[in-house]
Amino acid sequence: MSRMSLQQRPTLAVEIAGLRKTYAARGPAPAKEALRGIDLAIPTGAFFGLLGPNGAGKSTLIGILAGLVAKTAGVATVWGVDLATDPIGVRRRLMVAKAMVHDPPVLVLDEPTAGVDVELREQLRRMIRGLNARGTTIVLTTHYLEEAETLCDRIAIIGNGRLVAHDTTANLIARVDDKALTVALDRDLAAVPAALAGLDAALEPPRRLTVRYRTGETRGEAILDAIRAAGLPILDVSTRGADLNVSFLRLVREGRAADEGAPAHAARPEAA
């Protein structure tokens, strides 16, 4: 399959609307609703991450895009082709994509680096980056959140069959204003001093103290003042902001808490 010209390239490489999948009951096991009304649009040329805990529906969604799983309802198109009306042309394209030959327009990768050693994992990442740089739209599922944070420019998070979040990677991380401030002290401590009981502090024995806080509620300088007021001279200070792992866990928890009775979440990318 040859590369389409720029004039033929669709604006969206993958477009999903109202996608549902219910697996029929088997024996004593009841029917399972794996996808519950997913709306998702993936721009052409994106490096897109699809994340979620085990059982969230990621594999079902990928299976539908690959033509291996029949949807219950909704619409899914890949490169402008409706999977329901033309699944065999689509399968051929995705088979080519899976082999990573001829610069496929859309490449769907389900846990491509799972179970491989560090060297091979880095080689695969370089190969995938190269394809994306040449214009291939990448859809990646991975349990390595640092991999998604490094590679993907956009990420969708699925929880319990629903779309929990869909945004740029940077914006997803920015939603969480957690920071960690770590100080190196000039003496050994056996426990967090009682004077710091009001802080979310943890001791890394014997001389490192880490305080977690939210930038919208607390200033780092106020934490340092509290440590000094406790009679603890500070030798060194370092801070660490939130990463995708922190954002992922919080968004999944929030989605789970709000799930009962919640309407399906719709998300589309901003205008280019």
What residues does each domain of the chain span?
Answer: 8-175+244-257, 178-241
Q: What is the pLDDT of residue 268?
A: 39
Beta partners for 168?
154
Whole-structure pTM value: 0.68
Q: What is the pLDDT of residue 181?
A: 92
- State the DSSP string of 10-56: -SEEEEEEEEEEEEPPBTTBPPEEEEEEEEEEEETT-EEEEE--TTS
**8-175+244-257: CATH, from 3.40.50.300, 3.30.70.270, 3.40.140.10, 3.30.930.10:** 3.40.50.300
Closest to 157 (Cα-Cα) out of 227, 256, 76: 256
Q: What is the pLDDT of residue 256?
A: 79
Query: Angle CA(65)–CA(66)–CA(68) in degrees, nearest 5?
Result: 110
Q: What is the pLDDT of residue 101?
A: 52
List the chain residues with pLDDT less than 70: 1-7, 86-88, 90-102, 259-272
Amino acid identity of residue 147, one-letter, is E
Q: What is the pLDDT of residue 94?
A: 52
Any idea which fold 178-241 has?
Answer: Alpha-Beta Plaits (3.30.70)
